[in-house]
């Protein structure tokens, strides 16, 4: 499965959309393999899976593990040392599903019709429509943070990273790891590593982002 995605990435006539889809699927396959290995080890430690197997079974598992490691080493080069922070940020963006935001997120539950329609358009993946609808909405003190986040994320998913940065920088980032994460990714995508680093450093102790942040910071420090 992974080999097919790897081959597609190297096809000279493949479209940019096809290569992006192959990259996304390859990253997801790699993450799935890592999760399977972690669960297998945990179940083995708990005694759910017996450690002793027949020789033929042992060979089968060793062969499967060797194939996974070989393909992972070839097909996920952008997750290893040679990758830049920008390349790794791109891989994370492609691997993650777009956010879906619930009604009343970030504290405000008093939605008017236009704000509700904008939120629905966002969750449907129509980010241009979201921005068009939000341009007609007047923000109050209670809605300012959620409105900015909705607009910033819409620009982010439209790959308009400079506008996303402008909006995220207006937001109150105190104890708001999501804003820092997407601000950092947007900054990396524009090549502004110096702006990305402070946002990443604020996330070092966040359990949701810490592992990814550490990998990005390691690449930023490789100069």
Tell me the pLDDT tens digit for each residue of 170-223. Answer: 987 666 899 999 999 999 999 999 999 999 999 999 999 999 999 999 999 875
**pLDDT for the residue numbered 70:** 44
- Sorting pLDDT into bands at 50, 70 and 90, what band is 103? confident
User: In terms of Cα–Cα distance, which of 91, 147, 94, 96 is closest to 122?
Assistant: 147
Range 96-114 average pLDDT: 75
**pLDDT for the residue numbered 207:** 93
**pLDDT for the residue numbered 67:** 45
**pLDDT for the residue numbered 174:** 61
Residue 77 has pLDDT above 70, yes or no: no
CATH class for the region spanning 105-220: mainly alpha
Count the neighbouring beta carbons within 10 Å of the beta carbon of residue 36: 11
Task: Between 66 and 131, name the one with better pLDDT.
Answer: 131
Give the containing element (helix H, strand E) for 165: helix 161-168
Per-residue burial over 146-159, b = 16 or more CB atoms within 10 Å of its CB, e = otherwise: bbbbbbbbbbbbee
State the Cα–Cα distance between residues 221 and 223, nearest whole angstrom.
6
Mean pLDDT of all residues in the chain?
A: 77
Burial class of 166 by CB neighbour count within 10 A (0 to 12, 13 to 18, 19+)? middle
**pLDDT for the residue numbered 119:** 92
Rounded percentage of the chain residues whose pLDDT exceeds 90: 45
**pLDDT for the residue numbered 144:** 85
Angle at 64 between CA 61 and CA 69, to 5 degrees: 125
- pTM of the model as a whole: 0.63
Q: Where in the chain is the domain with CATH 1.25.40.10?
A: 105-220
Range 91-100 average pLDDT: 92
């Amino acid at each position: 499965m992974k080999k097919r995605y790897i081959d597609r990435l190297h096809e000279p006539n493949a479209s940019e959309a096809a290569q992006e889809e192959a990259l996304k699927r390859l990253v997801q396959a790699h993450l799935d393999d890592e999760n399977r290995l972690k669960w297998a080890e945990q179940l083995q430690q708990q005694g759910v899976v017996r450690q002793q197997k027949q020789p033929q079974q042992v060979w089968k598992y060793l062969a499967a593990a060797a194939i996974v490691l070989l393909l992972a080493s070839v097909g996920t080069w952008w997750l290893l040392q040679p990758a830049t922070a920008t390349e790794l940020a791109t891989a994370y963006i492609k691997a993650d599903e777009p956010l879906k935001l619930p009604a009343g997120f970030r504290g405000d539950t008093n939605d008017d019709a236009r704000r509700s329609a904008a939120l629905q358009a966002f969750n449907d993946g129509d980010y241009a429509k979201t921005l068009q609808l939000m341009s007609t909405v007047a923000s109050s003190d209670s809605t300012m943070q959620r409105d900015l986040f909705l607009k910033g994320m819409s620009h982010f998913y439209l790959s308009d990273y400079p506008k996303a940065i402008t909006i995220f920088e207006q937001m109150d980032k105190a104890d708001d790891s999501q804003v820092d994460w997407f601000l950092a990714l947007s900054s990396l995508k524009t090549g502004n590593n110096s702006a990305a680093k402070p946002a990443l450093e604020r996330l070092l102790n966040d359990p949701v982002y810490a592992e990814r942040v550490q990998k990005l910071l390691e690449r930023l420090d490789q100069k």
